[in-house]
């Protein structure tokens, strides 16, 4: 499979996950909660289902997954405000991780380009001794190079 079709497949998966298809009763059943609970979650800002032209709620697969996450958190005793904050932080973390991955990939590409350039520009030194220049402005580094050359 080519990388283009892989991207297309991932893109279709994302579209399918966010396509609003479930009415409130089906979404509630899938998440294992009462439909009124979904309305409460929406009022509290934990959930934002899409709406049809007629104003009916429609839930996507992503919404159902979020509902299940909310249920998991409330089952262990976290109140709805705590759940809202956790979900907000998880979303921020996910965004930061994506940005970090992008930066790492960019840095790796930049490093490879730098390596490619300096490998072309460097001339190998055949001597086992490091070159040293002594003059009136001799430095400690030059002294250390001479010591290295004497004993290696």
Q: How far apart are CA 73 and CA 83, in angstroms?
A: 6
pLDDT of residue 7: 43
Q: With respect to residue 131, please indicate whether it lies within any of the assigned structural domains.
A: no
Global pTM?
Answer: 0.60
Q: With respect to residue 94, please indicate whether it lies within any of the assigned structural domains.
A: yes
- Give the domain range for residue 94: 3-104
Whether residue 59 contacts residue 27, with contact meaning beta carbons closer than 8 Å, is answered with yes
Query: Measuring CA to CA, how many Å separate 99 from each of 9, 34, 92, 96?
Result: 22, 37, 11, 5
pLDDT tens figures, 5-42? 444 445 566 667 788 889 999 999 998 899 999 999 99
Q: With respect to residue 14, please indicate whether it lies within any of the assigned structural domains.
A: yes
Place of tokens 């979303």: 91
Phi-psi map region of 125: left, alpha, beta (phi>0 left; psi -120 to 50 alpha): beta
Q: With respect to residue 121, please indicate whether it lies within any of the assigned structural domains.
A: no
CATH number of domain containing 15:
1.10.1660.10
User: Which among 60, 66, 69, 67 is positioned nearest to 23, based on CA atoms?
Assistant: 60
Q: With respect to residue 133, please indicate whether it lies within any of the assigned structural domains.
A: no
Q: With respect to residue 118, please indicate whether it lies within any of the assigned structural domains.
A: no
Percent of the chain past pLDDT 90, that is, above it, reads 49
Q: How far apart are CA 29 and CA 41, in angstroms?
A: 15
Q: How many domains does one find in the chain?
A: 1
pLDDT of residue 152: 66
Report residues of the chain scoring pLDDT below 70: 1-15, 119-138, 152
Q: With respect to residue 110, please indicate whether it lies within any of the assigned structural domains.
A: no
pLDDT of residue 8: 45
Q: With respect to residue 130, please indicate whether it lies within any of the assigned structural domains.
A: no
pLDDT of residue 18: 83
Whether residue 70 contacts residue 83, with contact meaning beta carbons closer than 8 Å, is answered with yes
């Amino acid at each position: 499979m080519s990388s283009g079709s892989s991207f297309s497949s991932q893109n279709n998966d994302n579209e399918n996950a966010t396509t609003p298809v479930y009415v409130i009763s089906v979404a509630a059943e899938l998440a294992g909660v009462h439909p009124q609970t979904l309305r409460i979650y929406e009022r509290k800002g934990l959930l934002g289902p899409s709406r049809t032209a007629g104003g009916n709620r429609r839930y996507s697969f992503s919404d159902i997954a979020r509902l299940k996450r909310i249920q998991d958190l409330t089952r262990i005793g976290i109140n709805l405000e705590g759940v809202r904050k956790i979900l907000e932080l998880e979303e921020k973390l996910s965004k930061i991780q994506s940005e970090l991955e992008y930066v790492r990939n960019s840095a790796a590409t930049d490093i490879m380009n730098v390596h490619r350039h300096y490998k072309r520009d460097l001339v190998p030194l055949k001597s086992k001794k490091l070159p040293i220049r002594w003059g009136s402005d001799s430095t400690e580094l030059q002294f250390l190079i001479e010591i290295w050359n004497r004993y290696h």
